[in-house]
Structure 1
Amino acid sequence: MDLLRDIPAHALEGLRVIDLSGALGNYAGKLFAELGADVVLVEPPGGSALRHEGPFLADRPGLERSLAFAYYNTSKRGITLDLEHEADRATLRRLVATADLVIETERPGVMNERGIGYADLAKIRPSLVMLSITPFGQTGPYAQYQAEDIVALAMGGMLYLGGYPDTEPIRVHGDQGVLCANMYGAVAGIIALWHAEASGEGEHIDVSMQESVVMALENAVQFYDLERTVRRRWAGEQRFAGTGVYACKDGYVFLMAGGIGANRFWSRTLEWFADEGMKGIERLHGPEWADVDFLKSAEAKRTFSEIFGPWALERSKADLYHGGQARKIPIAPVSSPKDILENKQLQSRGHFVEVPDGLAGQTLRMPGAPYKLSQTPWKIQRPSPRLGEHNMEILMALEPAGASATHIRQAKELSL
């Protein structure tokens, strides 16, 4: 496909991606697949390691019951190859000859040892882009180290900033380090594909999960560089009176009424409280409430909580949100998973999508894309593949004579 001229039905239609990865690359492959690329997931005969990770449908483990696998591999076709065997590596090479991008997450050097590293595959397809996502990158003293999400968060600095001031660091939910690496990898991959389309020359992309996490530290590095100040954990603590997370009738809200950059909201907040007849509001008047140092004090925080707390507990998240927003005061409900599924804004945009036969014949509801393309729309093409589901289809289309008797037998068995 000529990316510079053709306008396909889907943004990446015409691209073929070979996904050899596990958790560190499956989401990147999904991003390509749901923009129209033909993504072929290559799994070992026993299945991807992600198939063995929960949560599982109805809490019953099984190769076709992992919700994580079902989400991260939608829209892909699936084939089984044992890359420890030369016959299957030969099949992979034939597949690569038709591909634009290969995603892999093996320990640095493993692909070269198998004779299917970037240099080997580029001889077959000079325009090929290979995306390698690993915990610490292809080079450096940590290159051979293994790591899961929590290790990357720790060694990337993010874990230090997560949690409560008086406890040990706490990991944020949801494999954020893994997802960071996937997203940076996908962006780098599409940039490299543009270059390959224009020049005919592919390249090898080296993505480090640790470095991807470091990129998410916001201004923590600058704080130390400029002030020699190490940012600390703030979770659960009000940094200023009037700014923080507060309990309400049906959960929590985040309010930013006072503190650095928020002083202009203080007068609006007091007007809101007065209009609502809040008891004790006179205690929040006075010049000291414009002093940031006073707002940091335990006395100010305690006073604000004593007045705002009982009042907020009588009101819902929705009431507080709409009341504050009407007065241009920064306030937001802290949404639970249930709130997210029922959120009117997300529903109006059709964010959550139904995937028929997502697992074990059941329809699954999944998050869609956070973007909408007007001309080349995003779409979940199909549910995640069953193990070896497309063996026969892919092998026979690739080269009828190249489908070994073993693969044909496996494909027939898996289709039963």
Structure 2
Amino acid sequence: MSAVAVPAAAAALTGLRVLDLSGAMGNYAGKLFGDMGADVLLVEPPGGSELRREPPFIDDRAGIERSLEFAYQNSSKRGICLDLDTASGQRLLRELAAGADLVIETAPPGWMAARGIGYDDLARLRPQIVVASITPFGQTGPYAQMEATDLIGLAMGGLLWMGGYQDAAPTQAHGNQAFKCAAMYGAVAAMLAVTDAELTGQGQHVDISLQESVTLALENAAQTYDLEGVVRKRPLSDQRFAGYGLFKCKDGYIYLGSRGIGNSPAWSRSLQWFKDEGMEGVERLFGAEWSDLGYLKTDEAREVFGELFMRWSMQHGKDWLYSEGQKRLIPLAPVSTPADLLENPQLQARGVFVDFVHPLLKQAARMPGAPYVLSQTPWHMQRRAPLLGEHTAEVLGEIGVSNEEMSRLFSAGVAA
């Protein structure tokens, strides 16, 4: 994103109205629409979304307005509070939906319909409306009513089996990746349905399954079992063969891919590099056995290479190793920490990190923006995440709720 402020009118989805009734499984989908210019209304229960209670918290102190997870996933949204278990709350939601293009929700199948705010109910008011339902296992099937955390999504989708190393239990990926996966697929499917509704005037119910979204990340693991009867395994915790894998260096780790299947030219380039730099013991890597892939897979080869390489790599920083490796056309990359990413010259040049503002922060922090650039309709974070109920009065006023009725709704706890 350019550092220059971009007017909201230039955004790709300006004019689109989205009601985001979702929780942790779907808030990211709403953010994607909001950051592209849609008017996204986050509809929370009176006590607030469960995501407001998710760490990390500002200053490591829990609080309804202190969750960084909530603040990130709900940027560019306005926020209102409605009690959808009340008749008045349901009526207001229907009035809001009558002017909306898309509803994103993550309630259990049937929960919305039982309150008169399901897809069929809303479509009678606005035929072109799209409702995107993101749930653990979809709207149908024997698991439809089961709940799931991000970890359960990874496990039931099969991706957890592939995470980590063979000599340890399966490892969960950081950052609620299963939820993000479902939210991204949900956003794409919802956008397709909204596009179709604009062309045909007819909306639809989009059913997104967390389990199915995660399963797509298995790539060819399912085919491998189906065709060959072989269950793909997690990699070994050390190198698969000498000259390949993660290695320590002076200030962290680097990934080295000098050896691949067959005779990789990167291996000869690596040997020349090590020789030019005066690596101690490098002559041990020039024997004929180092051209034999079978030998490279042995413990002896991995141990010899690891000992020689890390004795040398521990004298150098990962940035230097990366720079020199690139000059010599050797597959080598630093393992970046979050701090490294903020200082990364490529990401800085592309403007990937943008200001993150929050009422409880004295100065702006940084957060990831968008991993794409649209030349004519640039990405632009419209506003910080809303405080609980921050825009309730504003939004209710937009649908014609009088001040007198608004006071009654607030007093009754229907709105907050």
TM range (shorter): over 0.9
Check if 1:81 corresponds to 2:82: yes
1:11-410 pair list within 5 angstroms: 11-234=12-235, 236-260=237-261, 263-357=264-358, 359=360, 363-401=364-402, 403-407=405-409
**1:292: Cα distance to partner?**
2.0
After superposition, the Cα gap between the structure-2 partners of 1:120 and 1:144, relative to the gap in structure 1 and judged at 3 Å, is: same
> Residues 241 and 259 of structure 1 are in contact (CA less than 8 Å); yes or no, is this contact kept in structure 2?
no
Amino acid at match of 2:42: L
Residue aligned with 2:80, SS = strand
Which amino acid in structure 1 is aligned with residue 38 of structure 2?
A: A
- 1:223 offset after TM fit, Å? 2.1
Question: Residue 96 of structure 2 contacts residue 399 of structure 2 at CA under 8 Å; is this kept in 1?
Answer: yes
Q: What is the distance in 2 between the residues matched to 1:120 and 1:348?
A: 48
Deviation at 1:264, TM superposition (A): 2.7
Which moves more between the two structures, 156-165 or 287-296?
Answer: 287-296
Compute the RMSD of aligned alpha carbons.
1.9
* Contact in 2 for aligned 1:358/1:383 (Cα 8 Å): no
8 Å Cα contact 1:70/1:358 also seen in 2: no
Q: Deviation string for 1:201-256 (max 9, x for gaps)?
A: 10111111111111111222222223222221126321111000000011000000
Instruction: Give how far 1:200 is off.
Output: 0.6
Distance 2:85 2:248 in 1: 56
Among the aligned pairs, what percent are the same residue?
57
Quick check: 217-226 or 126-135, which moved more? 217-226
- SS, match of residue 215 in structure 1: helix
Q: 1:8 Cα shift?
A: 5.3
Q: Which amino acid aligns with 1:208?
A: S
| Aligned-partner residue type, residue 323 of structure 2 | H
* Residues 282 and 361 (structure 1), Cα distance of their counterparts in 2 relative to 1, 3 Å cut: closer
Q: Which runs of 5+ in 2 are unaligned?
A: 1-7
Q: Which residue of 1 aligns with 2:3?
A: none
Q: What SS class does the counterpart of residue 164 from structure 2 fall into?
A: coil
Q: Is the 8 A contact 2:244 2:257 kept in 1?
A: yes
Partner Cα separation in structure 1 for residue 342 and residue 10 of structure 2: 29
Distance 1:262 1:198, change over 3 A: farther
Displacement of 1:291:
2.3
* Distance verdict in 2 for CA 1:173–1:262, change over 3 Å: farther
* 1:259 CA displacement: 2.6
Paired AA for residue 114 in structure 1: R
393 and 248 in structure 1: CA distance in 2 versus 1, 3 angstrom threshold: same
Flag the 1:142–1:408 CA change in 2: closer, same or farther, 3 A: closer
Report the Cα offset of residue 70 of structure 1: 0.6
The 8 Å contact of residues 256 and 262 in structure 1, kept in 2 or not, is answered as: no
Identify which range, 285-294 or 47-56, moves more after superposition. Answer: 285-294
> How far off its partner does 1:61 sit?
1.0
Q: Is the 8 A contact 1:355 1:382 kept in 2?
A: no
Give the whole-Å Cα distance in 1 for the aligned partners of 2:194 and 2:263: 44
Q: 1:3-53: per-residue Cα shift (whole Å, max 9, x none)?
A: xxxx95110000000000001110000000000000000001111111111
Residue deviations 1:140-197, cap 9 Å, x none?
1111110000001111111111122111111111101000001000111111111111
Which has the larger displacement, 126-135 or 269-278?
Answer: 269-278
Matches of 2:362 and 2:100, distance apart in 1: 31
**Counterpart Cα distance in 2 of 1:252 and 1:328:** 19
Q: Could you report, residue by residue, the CA deviation over 1:287-346 in whole angstroms, capped at 9, with x for unpaired residues?
A: 332222221111111111121110111111011101111011110000111111111111
Partner Cα separation in structure 1 for residue 84 and residue 253 of structure 2:
51
For 2:375 and 2:37, how far apart are their aligned partners in 1?
14
1:213–1:262: structure 2 CA closer, same or farther, 3 Å change rule?
Answer: farther
Higher mean C-alpha displacement, 181-190 vs 337-346: 337-346
Structure with higher RCO (Cα < 8 A, 6+ apart): 2
Measure, in 2, the Cα distance between the counterparts of 1:256 and 1:262.
Answer: 12
CA separation in 2, counterparts of 1:347 and 1:240?
Answer: 35
Cα distance in 2 between the residues matched to 1:131 and 1:235: 40
Q: How many corresponding residue pairs?
A: 407
Counterparts in 2 of 1:262 and 1:22: CA distance versus 1, 3 Å? farther
The residue identity in structure 1 corresponding to 2:175 is G
Structure 1 unpaired stretches of 5+: 1-6
Provide the TM-score with structure 2 as the length reference: 0.94
SS at match of 2:169: coil
- Tell me which amino acid in the other structure corresponds to 2:406: S
Q: 1:400 is paired with a residue of what secondary structure?
A: coil
How many Å separate the matches in 2 of 1:393 and 1:295? Answer: 67
Return the alpha-carbon distance in structure 2 between the equivalents of residues 79 and 261 of structure 1.
60
User: For 1:160 and 1:197, how far apart are their aligned partners in 2?
Assistant: 41
Moved more, 203-212 or 264-273: 264-273
Are 2:263 and 2:291, in contact at CA under 8 Å, matched by a contact in 1? Answer: no
Q: TM-score, normalised by structure 1?
A: 0.94
| SS at 2:358 equivalent | strand
Q: Retained in 2: the 8 A contact 1:392–1:408?
A: no
